[in-house]
């Protein structure tokens, strides 16, 4: 009897996985149909170009204007040598540029 119970449980688990996969696919397909190409936003602040060497960070953030919108890449060049400070500056600049939703940090590169 225990063996029969295990087979039933496997079947239920398999059915559950199939249903979840179908629901995930249904959720993702409408987003793909209306998906806008990811836009690259040019840096909003540049370090002084007359400097002989560059300091600071290039910060890339995933941003959105609406909750269910595709992520857009927002790039910001900071003269700060601190990664954390550069990220905070980038988040403030993104919000000021009209992107109230900051998704996640994509990349931070030293200049």
Query: Sorting pLDDT into bands at 50, 70 and 90, what band is 34?
Result: very low
Query: Sorting pLDDT into bands at 50, 70 and 90, what band is 15?
Result: confident
Q: What is the pLDDT of residue 41?
A: 60
d(CA 59, CA 85): 11
More confident site: 37 or 72: 72
- The encoded tokens of residue 46 equal 């540049």
Whether 29 shows a pLDDT value over 60: the answer reads yes
Q: What is the pLDDT of residue 17?
A: 81
Q: Which long-range contacts (CB under 8 A, 24 or more apart) does 35-44 make?
A: 35/70, 36/70, 38/70, 38/71, 38/72, 38/73, 39/72, 39/73, 40/73, 40/75, 41/72, 41/73, 41/74, 41/75, 41/97, 42/75, 43/75, 43/76, 43/77, 44/76, 44/77, 44/93, 44/97
More confident site: 67 or 10: 67
Query: Sorting pLDDT into bands at 50, 70 and 90, what band is 57?
Result: very high
Percentage of the chain beyond pLDDT 70 is 68
The pTM of the full predicted model, rounded to 2 decimals, is: 0.52
């Amino acid at each position: 009897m225990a063996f029969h119970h295990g087979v039933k449980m496997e079947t239920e688990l398999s059915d559950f996985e199939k249903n979840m996969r179908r629901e995930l696919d249904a959720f993702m397909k409408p987003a793909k149909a209306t998906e806008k190409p990811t836009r690259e936003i040019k840096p909003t602040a540049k370090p002084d170009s007359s400097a002989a060497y560059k300091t600071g960070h290039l910060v890339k953030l995933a941003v959105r204007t609406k909750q269910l919108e595709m992520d857009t890449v927002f790039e910001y060049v900071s003269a700060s040598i601190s990664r954390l400070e550069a990220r905070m500056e980038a988040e403030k600049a993104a919000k000021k540029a009209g992107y109230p939703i900051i998704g996640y940090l994509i990349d931070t590169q030293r200049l």
